Chain A
């Protein structure tokens, strides 16, 4: 949960930085105030940086211990009765 929050905060910061960078550029005549290509390039780089720790997080596979995988079946009287009546 905490790691996810940190990642989200990093992405938000990266977006903010990218926006600041592009907005602070001097506007050339005939060009829009926000250069779309450079904005998304900076955004992509920031997002990739923020996502890196999440990718190296080890996967959590199920690791059942001896208690979970132990044999529970036993040939109780109940089970013997089941086998007996199925032979009829």
Chain B
């Protein structure tokens, strides 16, 4: 059984934020929420690295472990989904998540939170596949359409990989064997000489 995974090739990410924009548009994500973000380390310095982050659909998900109303569930594809009908917006999953994936819409003054929203691997939610109710709550269900998350499919440099974990790991291995990694990668010495090593 294929397990769905994301993998961001930091040697290729150019921080264009197309994945963030594609996700917001495809899923009509509420204002103030980004299901995916691009994080840049050592921004503006030679050798900076960027990586695109969202829910990583953990095998043993901490969000699922701490949820007081048990609103999370795993699909056979290994995607972690949740029910917005049960979510009480307590924020426990936000504190438990090592990637900062759960987000909350601001629904009023004084910091009141709405239902949690996070990346669904473009796999919708507990409602019927491709139904208007599913789209309204969770966004599109591209997996049911025989497609993959739009963030990965839109990636201009093919940095963000998504799909069957074994296949994308194989693709990444082929890349590393061919071009190297970090300061050993093709073109690094041309850009930075011997000044920076990763």
Which residues of A line the B interface, CB within 8 A? 59-62, 64, 68-76, 78-79, 82-83, 85-88
In the assembled complex, the Cα of A69 lies from the Cα of B74 at a distance in Å of: 7
Question: What B residues does A87 contact at CB under 8 A?
Answer: 171, 174
Residues of B in contact (CB 8 Å), total 34
Question: What A residues does B163 contact at CB under 8 A?
Answer: 73, 79, 82-83
B153 CB within 8 Å of chain A: yes
B167 CB within 8 Å of chain A: yes
Task: Tell me the residues in window 54-106 of chain B with beta carbons closer than 8 Å to chain A beta carbons.
Answer: 69-77, 82-83, 86
Across the interface, do B146 and A62 meet the contact criterion of CB distance under 8 Å?
Answer: no
Across the interface, do B158 and A86 meet the contact criterion of CB distance under 8 Å?
Answer: yes
Across the interface, do B75 and A88 meet the contact criterion of CB distance under 8 Å?
Answer: no
Do most interface residues of chain A lie in helix, strand or loop, or is the interface mixed? Answer: loop
Task: Tell me the residues in window 133-162 of chain B with beta carbons closer than 8 Å to chain A beta carbons.
Answer: 141, 143-144, 146-148, 152-153, 158, 161
B53 CB within 8 Å of chain A: no
Across the interface, do A68 and B126 meet the contact criterion of CB distance under 8 Å?
Answer: yes
**Chain B nearest CB: distance from A3 CB in Å?**
17
Across the interface, do A82 and B72 meet the contact criterion of CB distance under 8 Å?
Answer: no
Across the interface, do B76 and A79 meet the contact criterion of CB distance under 8 Å?
Answer: no
